Amino acid sequence: MPTLTLERLLASIGFGSRKECRALIRMGLVELEGIVQEDPFVEFEKRPDFITVNGEEVTTETKIYGILHKPLGYECSAKPQHHESVFSLLPSRFQGMDVRLVGRLDVDTSGIICFSNQGDFIHALESPKRGVKKRYLATLARPLEKEQEEQLLNPMMLKNEKRPVQAKSLNRLEEKVVEIEITEGLYHQVRRMFAAVGNHVEALKRISIGNLDLEQTELLPGEWRLCDAEDLKKLDG
């Protein structure tokens, strides 16, 4: 196993190639416990928990699990077509660590979204077999009729899909505001489900994944944080 040097440490947490990390260090932009480090090849017996780069203290953890409160108007793509990327809200070094979004929200949908660079975690949250529940707050164009509610709570086929989907729960909060829970994660699924029963979603917000509620995270639109052990436990719930 290669010796852990300062340049290798920086490279492992997304600050660029080893050559680029060497340059950061030699410019005096890297500190450890308040002391500027100028030797890229200084070795560590134990990986430090945090390091300061260009004035910002960052974790040296290489396994990333995070949550973001996605605002409206952002594309869930590293290469957006028409709007700013959600990745612009995250540290640029995360892309160097192969961080990916867990599922997507369209540009007109806000709410909680997870991100990680751990394939098993991403698969567990996205896998139809796991059936991780996701709750949305939908504002409709027209009041939800009883017949439409019954259709949504029973298996229904959406166009170009191979398996039926259904709402696991439906809670009418106001005449045109509905809380809906699903366990699949198909493209534009909630919007398509309401359209299929003759209604239209005017505004949509994902308010929970698993047992992790957006409100509990206290994240404002555009804010993010890394998951703690309790978050991960709730996401698995």
Q: For residue 128, is pLDDT > 80?
A: no
Please tell me whether residues 139 and 122 are part of one structural domain.
no
Is 236 designated active site? no
In which band, very low, low, confident or very high, does the pLDDT at 127 lie, cut at 50, 70 and 90?
confident
Please tell me whether residues 43 and 74 are part of one structural domain.
no
In this structure, is residue 1 part of a structural domain? no
Q: Rounded to an integer, what distance in angstroms lies between the CA atom of residue 38 and that of residue 51? A: 13
Please tell me whether residues 123 and 229 are part of one structural domain.
yes
- 185 close to 131: Cβ distance less than 8 angstroms: no
Q: Which residue from 167, 174, 168, 165 is spatially nearest to 202, judged by alpha carbons?
A: 174
Mean pLDDT of the residues in the chain: 93
Please tell me whether residues 122 and 220 are part of one structural domain.
yes
Please tell me whether residues 45 and 15 are part of one structural domain.
yes
Q: What's the domain range around 98?
A: 69-127+216-235
Please tell me whether residues 108 and 142 are part of one structural domain.
no
What per-residue string of b and e applies to 163-200 under the rule 16 or more CB within 10 Å gives b? eebebeebeeeeebebbbbbebbeebbbbbbbebeebe
Please tell me whether residues 38 and 53 are part of one structural domain.
yes
- Rg of the Cα atoms in the chain: 22
In this structure, is residue 116 part of a structural domain? yes
Catalytically annotated residue among 39, 49, 98, 106 = 106
Q: What is the DSSP string of 11-79?
A: HHTTS--HHHHHHHHHTT-EEETTEE---TT-B-SS--SEEEETTEEEE--SS-EEEEEEPTTEESSSS
> How many structural domains comprise the chain?
3
The predicted structure's pLDDT at residue 103: 82
Question: Which CATH number fits the domain that encloses residue 41?
Answer: 3.10.290.10
Beta bridge partners of 72: none
In which band, very low, low, confident or very high, does the pLDDT at 237 lie, cut at 50, 70 and 90?
low
In this structure, is residue 152 part of a structural domain? yes
Beta bridge partners of 224: 68
Could you read off the pLDDT of 147-194 as tens digits, one per residue? 999 999 999 999 989 899 999 999 999 999 999 999 988 889 999 999
Question: Which CATH number fits the domain that encloses residue 230?
Answer: 3.30.70.580
Q: Which residue from 69, 89, 65, 64 is spatially nearest to 77, judged by alpha carbons?
A: 89
Q: For residue 106, is pLDDT > 60?
A: yes
Predicted TM-score of the model (pTM): 0.90
In which band, very low, low, confident or very high, does the pLDDT at 82 lie, cut at 50, 70 and 90?
confident
Q: Which residue from 69, 138, 74, 114 is spatially nearest to 209, judged by alpha carbons?
A: 114
In this structure, is residue 200 part of a structural domain? yes
Q: Kindly state the tokens that stand for 111.
A: 């709410």
Please tell me whether residues 15 and 113 are part of one structural domain.
no
Q: For residue 1, is pLDDT > 70?
A: no
In this structure, is residue 64 part of a structural domain? no
**What is the pLDDT averaged over residues 11-27?**
95
In this structure, is residue 50 part of a structural domain? yes
Question: Which CATH number fits the domain that encloses residue 172?
Answer: 3.30.70.1560
Could you read off the pLDDT of 34-52 as tens digits, one per residue? 999 999 999 998 999 999 9
